[in-house]
Amino acid sequence: MYAVIKTGGKQYRVKPGDVLVVEKLAGEPGEAIAFDQVLMLGEGDVVTVGAPLVEGASVSATLIETRKGDKVKVFKKIRRQGYRRTRGHRQPESVLRVTAVAGAGQSETWDGEVDLTPLSVLRLRARNLAGRSAAAELPEGVEVETLAEPKGKGKTPRVTAHVVESAEAVGDAVESEAKAKAAPRKGGASKAPSAKDAARTATPKPSKSQAKAPPVRRTAPRGKG
């Protein structure tokens, strides 16, 4: 059994068990969604066409994820004018799993289990990168808190990581460096600066260019006589 539904200004032919990608819909992953705008129902050779909708017909689906689609590039050019513009756009879309079709006294359901794994995770699994995580590589005593902070006006939030607790570095090099800083120098306490050193730091020495600067030349004004 199949149906033709209308959503987002487009028409889709669906049947139970199909994965459907439509324009963005409101809802959370795992939420049930019902479509009541059914234009046609079909079961074998029997076809029911609505005028414009089929009365009492509905299609049920489960929302898997809402994501951005593939990037579409728009390129404009005017020859011999030096005009070139490139723009990109990613349309928001929702991914659904059709679970049931009902109408015209008939109904059909899909008994499978809906997998809510997003496409980004599936791509990581295909590249054998899904098992890696930043938390597994952190040392003991470090906790990472993930916060979404919007940057700029009208931009989507970017995910940034903030360290809640920092771990102290442990090593022979770090300990030796700390001991060297804490130990006093040989010869007792540091000596006080002398008068010559204080004078050098107070009055900077002129550079060679300033010392060899030519004197100001003065000439008499030109005139008759």
User: Which carries the bigger pLDDT value, residue 88 or residue 221?
Assistant: 88
How far is 161 from 149, CA to CA, in rounded Å? 10
Give the predicted TM-score (pTM) of the model.
0.56
Q: In this structure, what are the phi and psi dihedrals at residue 124, rounded to the nearest 5 degrees?
A: -65, -40
pLDDT (0 to 100) of residue 128: 86
Tokens 């489960």 belong to residue: 62
Write the pLDDT tens digit of every residue in 137-185.
556 655 656 555 655 555 555 555 555 555 555 555 556 666 666 666 6
What residues pair up with 14 in beta bridges, in sequence order? Answer: 3
| Other Cβ atoms closer than 10 A to 196 | 8
Listed by start position, the domains of the chain span: 2-114
pLDDT (0 to 100) of residue 179: 67
Write the pLDDT tens digit of every residue in 6-45.
999 999 999 999 999 999 999 999 999 999 999 999 998 8
CA 6 vs. chain centroid, Å, equals 32
